[in-house]
Structure 1
Amino acid sequence: MNEVEINAVFLAVALLMALFSTYLIYAVKRGTRGVGFLLVLYLSGSMVIMFLTLAFFFSTQSKVTEAVAFLANSLYMILGLFVILTLAQRKVEVRNSYTVALFAFTMAVSEALMGETFYAIDTKTLGNPLLGVENLYYLLTMLIEMGFAVFISFRNMTTPLKYYLLVLLPIMGLSPVTFPDNTPFIYDVTWASTSLMIVATILIYETLYRDRLKATQDTMTSLELMVIFTLMMGGEFLYFLVGSWYLFDLASILGMTWAIYRAIEGPSKIRGNYLRDTWWTFAFISLTFVMEWFMGGVLDFVTGVIQPGVSGFLSSLSLGFVSPSAYFGLGTLFDFVSAFSTVTGSVWFLVMMGTEMGALATMRIPQLKNKENKVRFALMISAYAIYTIYLPSFSPWTSKLPYIPYMWSMGLGTMGPVSPSYLLTGIIGTYVVTAVLSFLFGSRQICSVTCTAPLMYQGTFYDSLKTYNRKSGLGRKTLTSRLRPWYKAIVIGVWAVLLTSAVVSYLTQVGVINVTIFGVDTTVFLYSLFFNMLWYVVFISIPFLGTYACATQGWCSWGTFNQFFGSLGFFKLKVRDPSVCLKCETKACANACPVGLTDMAGSFIRKGEFKSMKCVGVGDCVEACPYDNVFFYDVRHKLRDIFHKRG
């Protein structure tokens, strides 16, 4: 037979298998129980044994392998029938969630082994155990069976599960292993699948947020889907790193298993609520971040920011790579920071995060009633797109940004070492400009607009996590405007380290000394450590630290700088009538504050205004006030008051 005829036979077999498998799926979905369900399990298992032995046989085609294949199928047939008859006689009901999951798994494995058999026929060799996933015939049968399972179950599914399965189908279909030797194809489907996965992640966030006030089955179901996404992105990252699709192939089998199982069984029976379950929320956020880190890394590989292969990856690290055993093992920590921050500091990771978080922030805008807050949200989203993404990475002024005040963004270290050419305009100029802006408008100009943190904290899902400011042990200790001793110690410690590194960096740049951290400028290293690594550790620890821990616990030097000058300036929150606050029973303003300023209401009653170094001007208090009594006050209102008095 020529190649065309062989492929035609393969296609016919694949379609017959898909047809037979869809019948078995239909039988299970219809509610087949007892002996009928046992027969379904028996038949699905027989496909696994059949293709397993066929792949083994065609890889060698000897009398021995032929005998082994025949013996294995015969034993399965005899023992399987014996088990069925025994259980049927004893009237044992074997159908439950575990056996249905086993059925779904055998469906996925049998199709993978079918692909393995086709490979053995073509090459007369046996490939890796998951190689069967890496061909068009597996993809075809997988999509037919998954699609059929979704189709026959669609009417009875919950709405979130419908969306989850509908978005999973094309993601599974856009498999880069379909033509594993075609690099352009791999790159194209990677872009398409990651885009769909971002959409799916936003959908998961919104599903959880919509049901935030009750325990639902969607909570655990969402976590399951996120596990599959994480394995898929981890598999693609592993391919670019070491050239192996093993993990991605495994993720494909698990994804098919999950889709068929959930289509038959419905959402998870475990009910949960992310606002009540601290550890579940931490697991979900952490898993999401791991998936996003892999996704950012994959996009970096595709765009050439990181070179493929282990050696290419190590040579692309932003801080470089040193011997892990250097300085009694400190080299290992350095390499970890370098690898971690290479991805989190890359433009494509920021684009991907901005797309997700920007979508969540955009979805919150219709919920806002205060015009000024709507404008701030628009500025916040635009600032991320322009200030964080476009200007540093894509604009024609990229190389000149270090010399421009306010473009040194996060303070010392962002744009490079503290060199004389940057010192006056780039660094000192940035601090002067932001100090003036914070004095005039409050620290919100950074902490609620320009910084990347507000976009991440203020979208629908993550904004709702401010409940952990009151629920978590450490979060409760940050409540009120009081600056606790440990807060001051953290701020002093962070600034001491930062200023020391700045002095060392400057003296090294002018040739007085030569001190670096494994060859990396001290401020550059600290920036990567603080903003490209520790910031994300703080972020995913929201269930234990509360929201805006960067501001409430003093970890962000740039934040405390602007908060300090903001507390000296004009910005404050005021109320139109303090007596309204006195009668208010809800104290909704304090409950809504994402920084946990619970003494806000008392200050409104006593003074008619509220001013705190911790206040970053998010404006949730303005939104939450049921009497529209709270408003922002800054230099604009101060000037208006001055001119009004003169008039």
Structure 2
Amino acid sequence: MEFNLIFVLIATLMTAFSIYLIYLIKKGINGLGFLVVLYLAGSMVVMFATLPIFFSTQNKITEAITLLANSFYMILGLFAILALSKKKLDNVRNSYTLFLFAVIMAISEALMGETFYSIETKTIGNPLLGVENYYYFAVMASEMLFTLVYFFKQTSYPLREFLIILLPLMIISPVIFPSNSTYIYDTTWVSSSLMIIGTIVIYETLYRSRLKQNQETMTSFELMIIYTLMMAGEFMFFLTGIWYLFDFSMITGMSWFIFRAIAGPSKIKGNYVRDTKWTFAFIFLTFVMEWFMGGVLDFASGVFSSGLSGFMSSLALGYVSPTSYFGLGSLFDFLSIVSTITGSVWFLLMMGTEMGMLAVFRIKDLKNTENKIRFILMITAYAVYTIYLPSFSPIASKVQYIPYMWSMGLGTLGPVSPSVLLTGIIGTYIVSAGLSFLFGSRQICSVTCTAPLMYQGTFYDSLKTFNRTSKLGRKTLSSRLKSWFKIITGIVWGSLLAMALISYLDQIGVLNITVLGNDPTVFLYSFYFNFLWYVVFISIPFMGTYACVTQGWCSWGAFNQFFGRLGFFRLKVRDPQQCVKCKTKDCTKACPVGLTDMPGNFIKKGEFKAYKCVGVGDCVEACPYDNIFFYDVRHKIRKLFNH
């Protein structure tokens, strides 16, 4: 109890002293005064770096080392300050020295925690262990809260919102009480929820300022790095039982928080719809963060067993020796690790929450009633069709036998067994082909598939500009099917049919062929939809949006697009002459699959019908004359009855 009181006193003094230093920085102190502040902050680092040595082994030698180190710092620092006092130091305060100050503040608190650890255990750990106690978090929270409140009026949008969201993420940490497993799991769910909100805010912030030449792109990227480090740290804990990476993310997060609150947003700016490399890096980093978050939620929900061996035993495709099959085993293991999480229900639920909110935000910008209804159906379909029915519903174990529920074609729910072949698989293809014939392939590609929810929210929808600006995206423009499109579609379909045949023959006992222990169609489906699809999605800046449609990567989409092309669905215009007069051709710019030949068809035929048209309806929204409308079996029936 005595030590606890001492700890509280030290932590309180540390907080007061640190807040005072931040206050001095806030006042705009510069020159020699700024160096004095750095010197005082550094004194805390030296003091708390040497005290653990003394408390771990209390003898004359460690006592001398502690006294000498602190005395040497004090004397050397004072001499340096006196030497510099005769020079002009007007430019000593800059972004680099402010960042140094922020890092020193964060490290000093971690070392304070390490000092408390050494007093309690009589051993030396490392500065990262100092993060794992509530004294550290009390000091950190107090300093960050003071910094936010004190700098609030001077902090501009969106940095202010970024700091507001990061603060509770830093405070609600699973390492405050690392021995309490219930607390760890509870805070894991809370921190994941807060991070989802933070990610949505970043997306929306960038989207709302997309017309500006300069945006806070680098500031957003920095925050996403912190999110990624935090999720990776939690993931590594469930794998190894060690918090060190998460501890490092806490120090990094606090350093960034104080630095950005003082220095303001990054001076490196850009515009994400014009910067291909930045946008790719940002999407890739976001995916990595979301992948770690999906894994953390799988651990927290019991889908994965804790520990490295538990995780490996939970892999959907299994694990083989990385050196097996002339090194191909390592590629298989990489695929198995990545696709296990991307195919898990918690990853899909987390992604659906983020992308679904972006889609909800976009609804209010839509003017076409039918498109608003489609958006509501799309969001509902993801929640019910993709998440609830196959994973949580009372009929979850029976959905494979219900037509239209064997989603995404071959290999989704399991092997091609005789028991599901007729109603589950063939029934799904028949029902889906019929719906595509009547209403167009939009019933899949713009409603029930997971892709439209991810492509059509505010931020990701704005990336369709890369359809025209990226080298590969430009090659997919217009409704014409290029020869390489047909080759890709043929390879995807041919491989799935071949694997489906092998799978069926395996199931009836004629063959016994597997892919490293996996059913052929399950393996290939996992490769195409749990791995390759995300590669295509992340590569939007280089491929354009909806590359699954424009380049033929999706077999299920290609099947429904074929029957949609044969059926009733098309786009029509009320007055072709209006298209002749139109100078902007906004419909082609808005199309997420790059159908640039729409206006010509509208003028010649009064309608547009194409294999690649999946009925997103952005052209209907973009038309300034409200001239374009959807046409499908409903209009055909209405026309027949009117006659």
Aligned twin of 1:585: 583
| Aligned CA-pair RMSD | 0.8
1:364 counterpart SS class? helix
Aligned twin of 1:114: 112
In the TM superposition, residue 88 of structure 1 has moved relative to its aligned partner by: 2.1
- Which of 216, 224, 245 aligns to 1:218? It is 216
Question: Once superposed, which parts of structure 1, at least 4 consecutive aligned residues long, lie more than 3 Å away?
Answer: none
2:412 counterpart SS class? coil
Deviations 1:18-48 (A, max 9, x none): 1100010011111000110000000000000
- Which of 533, 536, 544 aligns to 1:535? It is 533
Aligned twin of 1:88: 85
| Count of aligned residue pairs for this structure pair | 642
Change (3 A) 1:88 1:217: farther
My pick for the range that moved more, 152-161 or 456-465, is 152-161
In the TM superposition, residue 399 of structure 1 has moved relative to its aligned partner by: 0.9
Aligned twin of 2:486: 488
Aligned twin of 1:39: 36
Aligned twin of 1:373: 371
Alpha-carbon distance in 1 for matches of 2:10, 2:70: 19
- Please tell me whether residue 240 in structure 1 is matched to residue 223 in structure 2: no
- Which of 469, 477, 480 aligns to 1:479? It is 477
Aligned twin of 1:438: 436
Aligned twin of 1:18: 15
Q: Give 1:393's aligned amino acid.
A: S
Q: Give 1:344's aligned amino acid.
A: T
Alpha-carbon distance in 1 for matches of 2:312, 2:320: 9
Aligned twin of 1:346: 344
Normalized against structure 2, the TM-score is what? 0.99
Aligned twin of 2:53: 56
Alpha-carbon distance in 1 for matches of 2:196, 2:360: 15
Alpha-carbon distance in 1 for matches of 2:641, 2:367: 29
Deviations 1:127-171 (A, max 9, x none): 133100000000000011111111111001112111111111100
- Please tell me whether residue 360 in structure 1 is matched to residue 378 in structure 2: no
Alpha-carbon distance in 1 for matches of 2:448, 2:293: 25
Q: Give 1:12's aligned amino acid.
A: L
Aligned twin of 2:296: 298
- Which of 161, 165, 168 aligns to 1:167? It is 165
Q: How does 1:586-601 map to 2 (within 5 A)?
A: 586-601=584-599
In the TM superposition, residue 319 of structure 1 has moved relative to its aligned partner by: 1.0
Given that 1:143 and 1:173 are in contact with CA atoms closer than 8 Å, whether structure 2 keeps it comes out as yes
- Please tell me whether residue 79 in structure 1 is matched to residue 76 in structure 2: yes
Q: Give 2:587's aligned amino acid.
A: C
Normalized against structure 1, the TM-score is what? 0.99
Aligned twin of 1:67: 64
Q: How does 1:75-224 map to 2 (within 5 A)?
A: 75-92=72-89, 93-224=91-222
My pick for the range that moved more, 635-644 or 230-239, is 635-644
Alpha-carbon distance in 1 for matches of 2:117, 2:88: 42
Aligned twin of 1:635: 633
In the TM superposition, residue 577 of structure 1 has moved relative to its aligned partner by: 0.2
- Please tell me whether residue 453 in structure 1 is matched to residue 451 in structure 2: yes
In the TM superposition, residue 215 of structure 1 has moved relative to its aligned partner by: 3.1
2:153 counterpart SS class? helix
Given that 1:236 and 1:298 are in contact with CA atoms closer than 8 Å, whether structure 2 keeps it comes out as yes
- Please tell me whether residue 563 in structure 1 is matched to residue 545 in structure 2: no
Alpha-carbon distance in 1 for matches of 2:84, 2:541: 48
In the TM superposition, residue 87 of structure 1 has moved relative to its aligned partner by: 2.1
Given that 1:221 and 1:268 are in contact with CA atoms closer than 8 Å, whether structure 2 keeps it comes out as yes
Alpha-carbon distance in 1 for matches of 2:614, 2:128: 52
- Which of 388, 396, 401 aligns to 1:390? It is 388
1:399 counterpart SS class? coil
- Please tell me whether residue 617 in structure 1 is matched to residue 615 in structure 2: yes
Given that 2:42 and 2:104 are in contact with CA atoms closer than 8 Å, whether structure 1 keeps it comes out as yes
Alpha-carbon distance in 1 for matches of 2:215, 2:633: 49
Q: Give 1:71's aligned amino acid.
A: L
Q: Give 1:14's aligned amino acid.
A: A
Deviations 1:538-560 (A, max 9, x none): 00100000000000000000000
1:111 counterpart SS class? helix
Alpha-carbon distance in 1 for matches of 2:533, 2:202: 23
Aligned twin of 1:545: 543
Given that 2:209 and 2:215 are in contact with CA atoms closer than 8 Å, whether structure 1 keeps it comes out as no
In the TM superposition, residue 183 of structure 1 has moved relative to its aligned partner by: 0.4
Alpha-carbon distance in 1 for matches of 2:291, 2:457: 20
Deviations 1:65-95 (A, max 9, x none): 1111111111111211122222221223321
Given that 2:206 and 2:215 are in contact with CA atoms closer than 8 Å, whether structure 1 keeps it comes out as no
1:108 counterpart SS class? helix
1:156 counterpart SS class? coil
In the TM superposition, residue 520 of structure 1 has moved relative to its aligned partner by: 0.2
- Please tell me whether residue 413 in structure 1 is matched to residue 415 in structure 2: no
2:583 counterpart SS class? coil
Alpha-carbon distance in 1 for matches of 2:92, 2:51: 29
1:155 counterpart SS class? coil
In the TM superposition, residue 5 of structure 1 has moved relative to its aligned partner by: 2.0
Deviations 1:220-274 (A, max 9, x none): 1110000000000000000000111111000000100000001101111111110
- Please tell me whether residue 30 in structure 1 is matched to residue 37 in structure 2: no
Given that 1:157 and 1:263 are in contact with CA atoms closer than 8 Å, whether structure 2 keeps it comes out as yes
Given that 1:217 and 1:268 are in contact with CA atoms closer than 8 Å, whether structure 2 keeps it comes out as no
Given that 2:110 and 2:127 are in contact with CA atoms closer than 8 Å, whether structure 1 keeps it comes out as no
Deviations 1:339-365 (A, max 9, x none): 111111111111100100000000000
Alpha-carbon distance in 2 for matches of 1:326, 1:426: 36
Q: What is the identity percentage for the equivalent residue pairs of Structure 1 and Structure 2?
A: 70
Alpha-carbon distance in 2 for matches of 1:88, 1:94: 12
Given that 1:593 and 1:621 are in contact with CA atoms closer than 8 Å, whether structure 2 keeps it comes out as yes
Given that 1:217 and 1:267 are in contact with CA atoms closer than 8 Å, whether structure 2 keeps it comes out as no
1:435 counterpart SS class? helix
